[in-house]
Amino acid sequence: MNAQRKSEHFDLVVIGSGPGGYKAAISAAHMGRRVALVEKGLEGGTCLNHGCIPKKTLLYMAGLIEDVNALNGRGILGAIKGDFYAALAHKEQVIANIRDNFPVWLKRLGVRVYKGRARLTGPQALTVNTSCGKRLSLQAGRIILATGSEAAPYAGCPTDGERVINSRDFMLNLRAIPRSVLCVGGGAIGVELAFLMHQFGARVTIAERGPRLLDKPCIPERASNTLERKFRRIGVDVRKNVTVSSREVHGGSVVVHFTDGSSETFEQVLVAVGRRPRIRDLGLEQAGIEVDARGFVATNEYLQTTAPEVYAVGDVKFGPMTANAALHDAKIAATNAVSGNQLRANYNRVPIVIDSALEIAAVGLTELRAEDAGFEPDTARANFSGSPKSRGRHDTEGFIEVVHDEETGQMLGGCIVGPEAGEQIHMLTAACQSPKGLWFLKEISYSHPSWCEELENAIDPYMASFIQSEKSIFRPGIYAMP
Ligand SMILES: Cc1cc2nc3c(=O)[nH]c(=O)nc-3n(C[C@H](O)[C@H](O)[C@H](O)COP(=O)(O)OP(=O)(O)OC[C@H]3O[C@@H](n4cnc5c(N)ncnc54)[C@H](O)[C@@H]3O)c2cc1C
């Protein structure tokens, strides 16, 4: 091994080039700081290589197959089918293109990129073992950890990378859709990949150990139930309150034993039971960085670790394990690292989007969580069955919910289930951050026909009673409050 020692100094060194890492590096570079970014694997992290982007690219096609087939006999002649192999080739081209531009883009912004594994040797120092066998030493005023996460193993159903796979195996290695597949876990990744495989021809079963799909406090139960109904209608078998106790791989199939005593054979099994932070061999102890009881890097509200010079963003610290949250963290940690602690993380401001048989997006508080937080919440609703745009597309499932405070008209949050929910949610996010509260949604001129106009239809009856009761002063949305 060609061991070579160099030491360079940067204002900030970021470890990891996923959405948390690259956004933090760019933000600090925009603030005029000398920044380095270290990446041991593929540039772009989980999100670009085996997460959000490949998934969204494939799901777009899965959704198109459904949309076009819904209009078969209504102006479209004949049903269409997906070609998974060709879809994979398209997905790989998209990813390679973005990845190739990555170093160019960072270099243009003045960020120095090191390819290699980083290890902390202190709170302001690290080594980088590069892929060509060199060992570099870097000094840093501040360090941001953005090392992300990996699929959590599940003892009842260990993966083998072939018959029993996780989402990374799926995105990087799967070459054909199995005839039958069991998705272990009905969380975001489970329901998204279940729909994808169903649309490309698999017989899909989901085993969810909890009482509902997407069992998260930020997703209202009504959204989970609507998705489950849709799954049942299109032929995805949803089993709740059950999981896998053991499995046996026999050549080309997997025999699965369930906790309810039943057994069944599948061609493939996808394990999607959550993710765990990537902290192995990072040198946390040498830098004085503590880990919390769940195994995540412990941070305060400024995203500062127990070593004051080191911050952590994204999946490696506790919080929503989404690219959206990692991007939110990145702006906060970069600002705090560069200019002193001034911004606080607040995940109620960050939307969550799930793209499955229905698109589901939510932001802020559900009615239940708003009640717990001491508000007097009420929920304004409109169903897409009443939307002319939805009727024209023969796609009328789903709804919009606007959670607000009954007394003050304060925006507390909301959820959208239906077409382009992941785009529409930005309207609710903006309303939650507006000084005008609920009035923000009334004041806008909407395009007609559009999906977003359903926001106005949902809140109209509430606005009318507000105005008639002369309570026409709306408090700012909760996230616009000082
Ligand atoms: C199948 C799937 C679909 C998803 N879809 C979505 C979605 O649609 N929307 C959404 O918001 N979220 C989605 N997510 C979640 C999202 O991908 C993650 O939350 C996000 O990537 C986390 O970003 P991060 O920057 O924290 O870490 P990562 O993206 O995991 O990046 C971490 C990087 O750090 C590098 N690294 C680790 N250790 C070291 C080291 N010691 N030295 C150097 N480099 C190191 C890794 O190689 C990696 O490249 C999805 C996840 C999966 C698995």
Mutate to test the pocket of ligand 1, among 23, 37, 40, 47 (most ligand atoms within 8 A of CB): 47
Determine which residue's CA is closest to atom 20 belonging to ligand 1. Answer: 323
Determine which residue's CA is closest to atom 1 belonging to ligand 1. Answer: 51
Q: Does 473 have pLDDT greater than 90?
A: no
Q: Which atom of ligand 1 is nearest to the CA of 316?
A: 26
Note the pLDDT of residue 299.
Answer: 98
Output the CA 351–ligand 1 centroid distance in Å.
17
Q: Which atom of ligand 1 is nearest to the CA of 151?
A: 53
Note the pLDDT of residue 474.
Answer: 77
Q: Which atom of ligand 1 is nearest to the CA of 16?
A: 34
Q: Which helix (H) or strand (E) holds 91?
A: helix 84-108
Task: Tell me the mean pLDDT in the region 366-394.
Answer: 95
128 lines ligand 1 (CB under 6 A): no
Q: Does 213 have pLDDT greater than 60?
A: yes
20 lines ligand 1 (CB under 6 A): yes
Note the pLDDT of residue 2.
Answer: 44
> Using one digit for the tens of pLDDT, what is the confidence trace for 388-429?
999 999 999 999 999 999 888 899 999 999 999 999 999 999
Cis, peptide link before residue 449, omega less than 30° from 0? yes
Q: Does 232 have pLDDT greater than 80?
A: yes
Note the pLDDT of residue 465.
Answer: 83
Q: Does 1 have pLDDT greater than 70?
A: no
Note the pLDDT of residue 466.
Answer: 80
Output the CA 18–ligand 1 centroid distance in Å.
5
Q: What percent of the chain has pLDDT over 70?
A: 98
Q: Does 368 have pLDDT greater than 60?
A: yes
Determine phi and psi for 15, rounding to 5 degrees.
Answer: -105, 115
Give the separation between CA 443 and CA 446, rounded to whole angstroms: 9
264 and 244 in contact (C-beta within 8 Å)? Answer: no
Task: Tell me the mean pLDDT in the region 470-474.
Answer: 70
Which of 312, 203, 205 is closest to 256 using CA atoms? 205
Output the CA 149–ligand 1 centroid distance in Å.
6
Task: Tell me the mean pLDDT in the region 189-215.
Answer: 98
Mutate to test the pocket of ligand 1, among 42, 102, 130, 147 (most ligand atoms within 8 A of CB): 147
Determine phi and psi for 175, rounding to 5 degrees.
Answer: -115, -15
Q: Does 4 have pLDDT greater than 80?
A: no
* Coil, helix or strand at residue 269: strand
For residue 205, how far is the Cα from the chain centroid? 23
Q: What are the percentages of helix, strand and coil residues in the chain, rounded to 5?
A: 35, 25, 40
Output the CA 295–ligand 1 centroid distance in Å.
17
**What's the CA angle centered on 282, arms 276 and 286, to 5 degrees?**
130
Note the pLDDT of residue 464.
Answer: 85
Binning pLDDT at 50, 70 and 90, where does residue 172 land?
Answer: very high
Give the C-alpha distances (Å, rounded to integers) separating 369 from 181, 424, 438.
35, 22, 18
Which tokens hold the place of 202?
């698999």
Strands 359-364 vs 352-355: parallel, antiparallel or unpaired: antiparallel
> Using one digit for the tens of pLDDT, what is the confidence trace for 50-85?
999 999 999 999 999 999 999 999 999 999 999 999
User: Which residues are designated catalytic?
Assistant: 448
273 lines ligand 1 (CB under 6 A): no
Q: Does 3 have pLDDT greater than 60?
A: no
Binning pLDDT at 50, 70 and 90, where does residue 217 land?
Answer: very high
148 lines ligand 1 (CB under 6 A): yes
**What's the CA angle centered on 275, arms 272 and 281, to 5 degrees?**
140
Note the pLDDT of residue 407.
Answer: 86
Q: Which atom of ligand 1 is nearest to the CA of 52?
A: 5
Partnered with residue 411 across adjacent β-strands are: 404
54 lines ligand 1 (CB under 6 A): no
Note the pLDDT of residue 477.
Answer: 87
Binning pLDDT at 50, 70 and 90, where does residue 475 land?
Answer: confident
DSSP string covering 378-412, please? EEEEEEGGG-HHHHHTT----EEEEEEETTT--EE
186 lines ligand 1 (CB under 6 A): no
Which of 216, 213, 220, 212 is closest to 412 using CA atoms? 220
Output the CA 477–ligand 1 centroid distance in Å.
31
Q: Does 6 have pLDDT greater than 70?
A: no
Determine which residue's CA is closest to atom 33 belonging to ligand 1. Answer: 16
> Using one digit for the tens of pLDDT, what is the confidence trace for 107-164?
999 999 999 999 999 999 999 999 889 999 999 999 999 999 999 999 999 999 999 9
Note the pLDDT of residue 332.
Answer: 98
User: For all residues of the chain together, what is the average pLDDT?
Assistant: 95
Residue 71 neighbours by CB distance under 10 Å = 14
